[in-house]
Amino acid sequence: MMELLWMAVGVAATLIVAGLIRLYFRFEVRAYVAEDEEPEGKYRILRKVQTPTQRVALVEHEDQLLVYANGYVMFGTTEDEDMYGEALIHVPVSVAQKRERVLLIGAGGGITAREVLRYPDVKEITVIDIDPVMIEFGKTLEPLVKFNQGSLNHPKVRTVVEDGRSFLEKNEEKWDVIILDVPEPTMESLGLSRLYSWEFYSLLRERLNPGGVAGIAGSVLSNTPEYFWTIQATLKAAGFSVLPYHFDVLVEHDEDWGYCVAATRPISPADVNIQVPNRYLNRDRLKDMFHIRYGYWKYWEEDEIQTDRNRVLAYYQNEDM
């Protein structure tokens, strides 16, 4: 009888331990690497950091470093990142009439700064990130520094830890190019709408030199065309001339990434003339980038606008989840 009791205690203890392990994974690991965002095959979590603004995980996967924020990949030392960065940077930067002063908002990893540094006429780059840990990683984390080619330590580059909006509100300096590379607002992160609103875009316009442009990352166009068109409509409402474009990785990832150039003068694809070395923006690709497929806007009629007070973009993002 005593034996049976001990066996029961053993079974119960095992179950409790198993349950605790499961809870640990559910709440601890999953908060850093979401289940639907796990890399395929083997991977290793190198570090987990609760920064002042987010939960960051550094993950090693197939000799690449992936940087997760709140469970989702923010960027990595990957080919995807090169494609994304080239598309985000070279279209607006090549369209700008001048490019001496460039502001990068949400760029702690230093990868977009690496691309901007390819232009010899760029005199100073200011990199802003709200998360000091991201800037720190961009400057010192070995695989990342190798990938961004030490961009954040370059003499032309200055880094600032601050929210992009309050930086622009406080600093009346003007810029030739401003790049916005910030996460999409969702119902869980409504505050991010303040970096996508009519009020913010109007401020952006005031902070651009004549002939200046802004480049805006527009999420996955193929999942949420209505999100993309809202950004465009909002930019137009703020007085910008807008050139939408995309980078198709449907074969690789079943995704098509959206971007906008917002200019203070009318612009067209003919104004895009990329003179610096790059890997992905060949002539045929560029031609494709400025053709937005009929199906993306066929069903889209309303011109909704994101303001500081509504939830349009967050709503579209959550609808897609």
Judge whether 181 counts as a catalytic residue: yes
Which CB sits closer to a copy of itself, 145 or 249?
249
Using the rule CB under 8 A, give the single segment among 23-31, 237-245, 260-268, 292-300 that binds a copy of itself. Answer: 292-300
SS3 314: helix
d(C-alpha 247, C-alpha 221), whole Å: 9
Catalytic position from the list 36, 63, 176, 181: 181
Q: Which of 155, 284, 309, 321 binds a copy of itself (CB under 8 A)?
A: 284
Closest CA to 211 of 99, 115, 91: 99
63 is in an annotated binding site: no
CB of 247: closest distance to a copy of itself in angstroms? 9
**139-148 b/e (C-beta count within 10 Å ≥ 16 → b):** bebebbbebb
- Touching a copy of itself, residues 212-251 (CB under 8 A): 248-251
317 is in an annotated binding site: no
The one-letter code for the residue type at 22 is R
Which CB sits closer to a copy of itself, 122 or 289?
289
Element (H, E) at 1: none
Q: What is the dihedral of CA 268, 231, 286, 210, to 10 degrees?
A: 40
Size of the site for a copy of itself (CB under 8 A): 15
The answer to whether residue 295 forms part of the interface with a copy of itself (CB under 8 A) is yes
CB of 298: closest distance to a copy of itself in angstroms? 7
d(C-alpha 55, C-alpha 69), whole Å: 6
Instruction: Dihedral sign for Cα 196, 201, 202, 207, please.
Output: positive
The answer to whether residue 320 forms part of the interface with a copy of itself (CB under 8 A) is no
Judged by the rule CB under 8 A, the positions of this chain that interact with a copy of itself are: 248-251, 284-285, 287-289, 291, 293-295, 298-299
The residues that are catalytic are 181
In the annotated binding site for S-methyl-5'-thioadenosine, the residues are 54, 129, 163-164
